[in-house]
Amino acid sequence: MSVNDVSLTAGMRSNLLQLQGTSKLIDRTQERLSTGKQVNSALDNPTNFFAAQSHMNRANDFAVRKDGMSEGIQTATAADAGISAINSLVEAAKGLAAAALGTANTTDRATFATQYQQLITQINTMASDSQYRGTNLLTGATLTVNFNEDATSKLEVKGFTATASGLSISTPTNVWTADGDITLSQVHLASATTQLRTQSKNLANNLNIITTRQEFTDNMIGTLQTGADNLTLADMNQEGANMLMLQTRQNLGTTALSLSSQAAQSVLRLF
Ordered per-residue pLDDT tens for the chain, 271 residues: 445 555 556 666 776 677 677 777 676 667 766 777 777 777 778 898 899 899 999 999 999 999 999 999 999 999 999 999 999 999 999 999 999 999 999 999 999 999 999 999 999 999 999 999 999 999 999 999 999 988 899 999 999 999 999 999 999 989 999 999 999 999 999 999 999 999 999 999 999 999 999 999 999 999 999 998 888 866 667 767 767 777 776 776 666 666 666 655 565 555 5
pLDDT in tens, 113-166: 999 999 999 999 999 999 999 999 999 999 999 999 888 999 999 999 999 999
Domain ranges within the chain, ordered by starting residue: 69-231, 234-265
Q: Of 102, 117, 111, 109, nearest to 171 (Cα)? A: 117
Instruction: Give CA separation, 81 vs 26, 130, 177, 200, in Å.
Output: 62, 8, 35, 10
Decide if 221 contacts 133 (C-beta within 8 A). Answer: no
Full DSSP string of 11-25? HHHHHHHHHHHHHHH
Q: Of 215, 60, 224, 53, nearest to 149 (Cα)? A: 60
84: part of which helix (H) or strand (E)?
helix 46-101
pLDDT in tens, 20-37: 777 776 766 677 667 777
Q: Of 248, 239, 252, nearest to 35 (Cα)? A: 239
Report the top-level CATH class of 69-231: mainly alpha
- Global pTM? 0.74
| Distance, CA of 38 to CA of 28 (rounded, Å) | 9
3 CB-contact burial (10 Å; exposed 0-12 / middle 13-18 / buried 19+): exposed
N- to C-terminal Cα distance for the chain? Answer: 28
